[in-house]
């Protein structure tokens, strides 16, 4: 299992918007340059973040802006916006284990709760972290770079 890079790209995008929205127009071209990916990918992520009401995008000469304060945007909010879960479960179970096999007929029941516990733990951790936490760490890192 691997969560796609779209999640970390979305966090990068949100951090850029938060840092630069008052200084310049944060466009998909600008974000594309910072993330170093194609602007089409950025535009698609912006659409997902907008649909989740995490950002607003002003057409034309506009730019992107946070729709909520950074301390109210959890990493779980971003994850759910970018990586929508099929049937609300992180782990997909194979469809047809063999019911005549003792492992096949029991494996689903044995794994279901364990995998749900893993998902809940991950979601709780993501919920406890906010964009403001990322921005704080970024500020600390930038101040350290200035001193060096």
What is the pTM assigned to this prediction? 0.86
The SS3 of residue 117 is: helix
- The model's pLDDT over 82-133, given as tens digits with 9 standing for 90+, comes to 987 766 777 777 778 899 999 999 998 899 889 989 999 999 999 999 999 9
pLDDT (0 to 100) of residue 2: 59
Tally of structural domains, the chain: 1
Q: Quote the domain boundaries for residue 98.
A: 5-147
- CATH code of residue 131: 1.10.10.10
pLDDT (0 to 100) of residue 87: 65
**pLDDT cut 70: percent of the chain above it:** 96
**Is residue 147 scored above 80 in pLDDT?**
yes
The candidate with the shortest Cα–Cα distance to 7, out of 98, 62, 61, 83, is 83
CB atoms within 10 A of CB 74: 18
């Amino acid at each position: 299992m691997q969560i796609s890079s779209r999640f970390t790209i979305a966090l990068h995008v949100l951090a850029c918007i938060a840092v630069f929205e008052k200084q310049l127009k944060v466009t998909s071209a600008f974000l594309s340059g910072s993330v170093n990916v194609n602007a089409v990918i950025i535009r698609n992520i912006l659409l997902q973040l907008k649909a989740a009401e995490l950002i607003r995008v002003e057409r034309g000469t506009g730019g992107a802006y946070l729709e909520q304060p950074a301390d109210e945007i959890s990493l779980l909010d971003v994850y759910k916006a970018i990586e929508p879960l099929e049937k609300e479960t992180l782990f997909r179970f194979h469809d047809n284990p063999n019911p005549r096999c003792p492992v096949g007929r029991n494996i689903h029941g044995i794994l279901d709760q364990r995998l749900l516990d893993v998902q809940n733990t991950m979601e709780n951790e993501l919920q406890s972290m906010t964009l403001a936490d990322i921005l704080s760490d970024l500020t600390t890192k930038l101040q350290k770079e200035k001193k060096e």
